[in-house]
Chains A and B, each alone.
Chain A
Amino acid sequence: MTATDTGAEAGVTPGVGPRRPDTRRRHRGRVVPIAVALAVLLLAELAVRAGRSHLDEPNVWPTPELQKKFTQIGARAREGRRPEVVLVGDSMLDAGGDPAALAQAVPGTTVYNASIAGETLPVIADWTTRIVLPKLDPKVVVVGFSSNELNPSVLAPEAGVGAYRASRVVRAAEGRGSPVDRADAFLREHSMLYRYRSSLRHPFRGDTVDPNVFDPELSPDGHDLAFADLGYLEKGGPGQAQAVIQGVVAALQGFTVGLENVTILQEMIRAIRVAGARVLLVAMPVTTDLIVAHPGGEADYRKAMEAFAGVAQRSGAAFVQPGVWPTALFADPVHLNGAGAAQLSSYLAPLVQQELAAARLAEP
């Protein structure tokens, strides 16, 4: 070892004085790659920030429709475009509730359809109380269901409740988030590269689309347009019509009016009323095909209607039961088409107007 190597020539104590050149080079060899890699990451982050207006909001909800409606509701809340009337229900009201037609029939009001297709009563109740009410603060809520939502089978985890409750966004909202969820939320908030990565993943065709996932086209006011232009059992031809009817029969298998279902609905309406809104409970219009699909036929359907009336009475909601409508107004035994949605708007307009008037009167 030479004097220069030890630093003795420069008059410094080895190990205390300035770093030797090879140590410095080694140190630079470790620090520079990390610094440059971080710079590359930063550049990518800045590029995504610059182009984020062209990117789709990432999916955090378990279904595309929940995601889209969450985004629409969030935008309305941020921009102060809260509607006076909100529709909540399953796919029957999602397709059958046309906010534009209802707003036209009730002049001077605004309407948003927050219904969710494919979800069941407990999910819709949770979605309504956790997201819809706090963000939109409506004066009137139209709640629309039919007999199938009172069947206890909709409470099974495989009916969608499990996926909803297990989703990261619901876990976080319920305070059940793990440290990983919290880290994810932190990164989503602070890094746009991380937040928009699902949009960046497939730049040429959007995120991977699973054909089995229902992803309807929505109007800006939340109307599900998937059934709007269809005649009765027109979609997919006769084979598909048979499959639709089989699906309806399966959903009503072993039909009874579930006590827990009734309680969930009742609690949901109570929560809406506690939030300061008036409630109009609608037993959605149906086809004869739907009624005969119940194992006990019309008797089962009547039991369900009595249960809805009882819920409305106990929870202080107005209740209407449009009953059986002609198939020309339906796309299938369950879902109203565009003409049916317009008809429902006309049917509901005077009742909504009445509830709105009462709500406005009650305002301080």
Chain B
Amino acid sequence: MTFNSLQYALFLPLVLAAYWMLGRRAQNVLLLVASYVFYGAFDWRFLGLLMLSTLTDFVVGRVLEGTDDERRRKRIFLVSLAVNLGILGFFKYFDFFLTDGARLLDQLGIDVSPPVLRILLPVGISFYTFHGISYAFDVYRRKIEPTRSLLDFAVFVAFFPQLVAGPIGRAHLQLPQFGRERTRPDGPEIRRAAVLILLGLFKKVAIADMLAPYVNDAFASPETTSSLGLLVGVWAFAFQIYGDFSGYSDIARGSSSLLGISLPENFNQPYLSRSVTEFWRRWHISLSNWLRDYLYIPLGGNRGSGLLTYRNLLLTMLIGGLWHGAALTFVVWGGLHGLYLAGERRFTRVVDEDAWRPWSLRRDLVRTVVTFQLVCLAWVFFRADSISGALGYLGGIARLQGGVTDRGAVVLVALAAAAVLLLDSAQHRARDHTPMLRWNPALRGVAYGLMIVPIVVFSGGTPVPFIYFNF
């Protein structure tokens, strides 16, 4: 069941109607059942994995509470790590390491023919295992008290608005919300949630799905597409993945807010960033924060020498790349971002202040455009099927080759870019994700109408799954 399906349009109101008639404990029971139904609609066979991960982390939390022996605590925490990373490793990376390892050995002259298991990737596995690890890690470091309620914890891990594609939840922010009475959202909150859902649908259906066929065409035949066509193709992908993923996050936040649960922001106008460092403060914020808190800082962060900091940045981004998918293309994507971040840290001094400084057309336009192009260069590796495919694509742009230019794609990418830019600028200026709620009623109505019409037009075609469901 995806957020842009008719099933979800029926599922959410039904859950909401029942939810607000119940008390706190019954609400959690309903949320857990609804979340398992939601997840089971993708593939019920993987529900067992979700339950295993949940149970392990809950028990680990409880046992950690009962001991002060640091060596024992570490061993107990490693159980959570082993189970979660074991699930993730087997289902996501087993075939990758086996086939790519065999290929490497083959190049060294050692012939091995490992069995490829063609393991199915359970949807959302990267998200809920990270939920669990963060909880166990925070309990282990005594940053939070472990919860005594298995029900609250199971709902925290499986909460359906964020289960399959985030935002990645943090126990200290979310768990307490499931442990206390929730306040029924009032009129303004309901309107804000409805506008977030409408915005999310618009970004997903009218921007991402509209651009998807043009992106597919460009990446399917880079050798026959002109340089301009290839350039437009990668820009289209930049807006497609942004519309797709931030649209999902908006619907998740809107749905969650109707249930009286607040989810963290996951996107904050990333393409207005003036540096890659700023981009990572605005793009997939919940993952950036997770990687910072559970990887970069434990690795030493920027506390050591310059070289160590660069190493930590690169390692964090390489692992972040691998988190997205079991392929070398994602590793290169992460590696490129690691290099960008290290380079910016080495050569510029102002990147840290950027996030808090107001955006200025005169001062920031060039830096924003350059940052966007650097991000797009990395997107080529993210989207391509192989490293050679990505290099071929970039080669096609660099050679200024002739070929097919889909003029329709150029117009539609320009329209999508304009829509994204308008929305993001309005959000940025208002420092609010639903700025239209402050507009005068007629203008607000025009904005809603202009979002609903393309949603009608672009819905109901060949279903385009949310890109991040693959991760």
Give A residues with C-beta under 8 Å from B. 28-29, 31-41, 44, 180, 184, 193-194, 197-198, 200-205, 208
Q: Contact at A204–B407, with CB atoms within 8 Å?
A: yes
Given contacts A36-B449, A37-B449, A39-B449, contact A194 B456 (CB under 8 A): yes
Q: Is the interface of A mostly helix, strand, loop or mixed?
A: helix
Q: With a CB–CB cut-off of 8 A, which chain B residues contact A201?
A: 210, 457-458, 461
Nearest residue (CB) in B for A31 is B441
Nearest residue (CB) in A for B451 is A37
Nearest residue (CB) in B for A44 is B453
**Which of B210, B407, B442, B456 has the most A CB atoms < 10 Å from its CB?**
B456
Q: Contact at A197–B460, with CB atoms within 8 Å?
A: yes
Q: Contact at A36–B446, with CB atoms within 8 Å?
A: yes
Given contacts A36-B442, A180-B6, contact A204 B456 (CB under 8 A): no
C-alpha gap A36/B446 in the complex (Å): 6
Q: Contact at A39–B445, with CB atoms within 8 Å?
A: yes
> Closest Cβ of chain B: how far from A341's Cβ, in Å?
34
C-alpha gap A34/B452 in the complex (Å): 11
Q: With a CB–CB cut-off of 8 A, which chain A residues contact B408?
A: 202-205
**Which of A29, A35, A37, A184 has the most B CB atoms < 10 Å from its CB?**
A37
Give which listed residue, B210, B445, B456, B461, contacts A193 with CB less than 8 A.
B456
C-alpha gap A159/B445 in the complex (Å): 49
C-alpha gap A95/B35 in the complex (Å): 53
Q: With a CB–CB cut-off of 8 A, which chain B residues contact A28?
A: 441
C-alpha gap A193/B455 in the complex (Å): 11
7 residue pairs from A and B, CB less than 8 Å apart: A32-B445, A36-B441, A36-B448, A37-B449, A41-B453, A180-B6, A197-B459
Q: Is the interface of B mostly helix, strand, loop or mixed?
A: helix
C-alpha gap A177/B11 in the complex (Å): 20
> Closest Cβ of chain B: how far from A329's Cβ, in Å?
35
Given contacts A40-B450, A193-B456, A197-B456, contact A202 B213 (CB under 8 A): yes
Give which listed residue, B210, B412, B448, B461, contacts A33 with CB less than 8 A.
B448
Q: Contact at B453–A40, with CB atoms within 8 Å?
A: yes
Asked if B184 CB lies within 8 Å of chain A CBs, one says no
Nearest residue (CB) in B for A35 is B445
Q: With a CB–CB cut-off of 8 A, which chain A residues contact B445?
A: 32-37, 39-40
Nearest residue (CB) in A for B212 is A208
Nearest residue (CB) in B for A38 is B449
Q: Contact at B457–A208, with CB atoms within 8 Å?
A: no
Q: With a CB–CB cut-off of 8 A, which chain B residues contact A184?
A: 460
Q: With a CB–CB cut-off of 8 A, which chain B residues contact A205?
A: 406, 408
> Closest Cβ of chain B: how far from A265's Cβ, in Å?
34
> Closest Cβ of chain B: how far from A237's Cβ, in Å?
19
Q: With a CB–CB cut-off of 8 A, which chain B residues contact A36?
A: 441-442, 444-446, 448-449
Given contacts A32-B441, A193-B453, A194-B456, contact A208 B462 (CB under 8 A): yes
Asked if B411 CB lies within 8 Å of chain A CBs, one says yes
C-alpha gap A37/B456 in the complex (Å): 13
Apart from the given pairs A37-B445, A198-B460, 14 other A-B contacts in the complex at a CB distance below 8 Å: A31-B441, A33-B442, A34-B448, A36-B442, A37-B452, A38-B449, A40-B445, A40-B449, A198-B461, A201-B457, A202-B408, A204-B406, A204-B407, A204-B412
Q: With a CB–CB cut-off of 8 A, which chain B residues contact A197?
A: 456-460
Q: Contact at A200–B449, with CB atoms within 8 Å?
A: no
Chain B 374-405, CB within 8 Å of chain A: the 1/0 string?
00000000000000000000000000000000
> Closest Cβ of chain B: how far from A194's Cβ, in Å?
6
Q: Contact at A32–B442, with CB atoms within 8 Å?
A: yes
Chain B 328-368, CB within 8 Å of chain A: the 1/0 string?
00000000000000000000000000000000000000000
Q: With a CB–CB cut-off of 8 A, which chain A residues contact B462?
A: 208
Q: Contact at B452–A41, with CB atoms within 8 Å?
A: yes
C-alpha gap A204/B213 in the complex (Å): 13
Q: Which residues B149-174 have CB closer than 8 A to chain A?
A: none
C-alpha gap A33/B439 in the complex (Å): 10
Q: With a CB–CB cut-off of 8 A, which chain B residues contact A29?
A: 441
Q: With a CB–CB cut-off of 8 A, which chain A residues contact B457?
A: 193, 197, 200-201
> Closest Cβ of chain A: how far from B230's Cβ, in Å?
18
Q: Contact at B441–A40, with CB atoms within 8 Å?
A: no
**Which of B408, B442, B449, B458 has the most A CB atoms < 10 Å from its CB?**
B449
Q: With a CB–CB cut-off of 8 A, which chain B residues contact A39?
A: 445, 449
Q: With a CB–CB cut-off of 8 A, which chain A residues contact B6?
A: 180
Given contacts A28-B441, A37-B445, A198-B461, contact A204 B411 (CB under 8 A): yes
> Closest Cβ of chain A: how far from B224's Cβ, in Å?
13
Nearest residue (CB) in A for B408 is A204
**Which of B446, B457, B459 has the most A CB atoms < 10 Å from its CB?**
B457
> Which 5 A-B residue pairings sit nearest by Cβ, starting from the closest?
A36-B445, A40-B449, A204-B408, A32-B441, A33-B445
Q: Which residues B404-445 have CB closer than 8 A to chain A?
A: 406-409, 411-412, 441-442, 444-445
C-alpha gap A32/B444 in the complex (Å): 9
C-alpha gap A326/B406 in the complex (Å): 44
Q: With a CB–CB cut-off of 8 A, which chain B residues contact A37?
A: 445-446, 448-449, 452
Q: Contact at B213–A208, with CB atoms within 8 Å?
A: yes
C-alpha gap A32/B446 in the complex (Å): 10
Q: Contact at A41–B449, with CB atoms within 8 Å?
A: yes
Given contacts A41-B452, A41-B453, contact A33 B458 (CB under 8 A): no
C-alpha gap A184/B459 in the complex (Å): 12
C-alpha gap A31/B442 in the complex (Å): 10
> Closest Cβ of chain B: how far from A102's Cβ, in Å?
38
Nearest residue (CB) in B for A204 is B408
C-alpha gap A32/B406 in the complex (Å): 40
Nearest residue (CB) in B for A32 is B441
> Closest Cβ of chain A: how far from B80's Cβ, in Å?
43
> Closest Cβ of chain A: how far from B246's Cβ, in Å?
22
Q: Contact at A40–B452, with CB atoms within 8 Å?
A: yes
> Closest Cβ of chain A: how far from B444's Cβ, in Å?
4
Q: With a CB–CB cut-off of 8 A, which chain A residues contact B449?
A: 36-41, 44
Q: With a CB–CB cut-off of 8 A, which chain B residues contact A194?
A: 456
> Closest Cβ of chain B: how far from A281's Cβ, in Å?
38
**Which of A28, A33, A208 has the most B CB atoms < 10 Å from its CB?**
A33
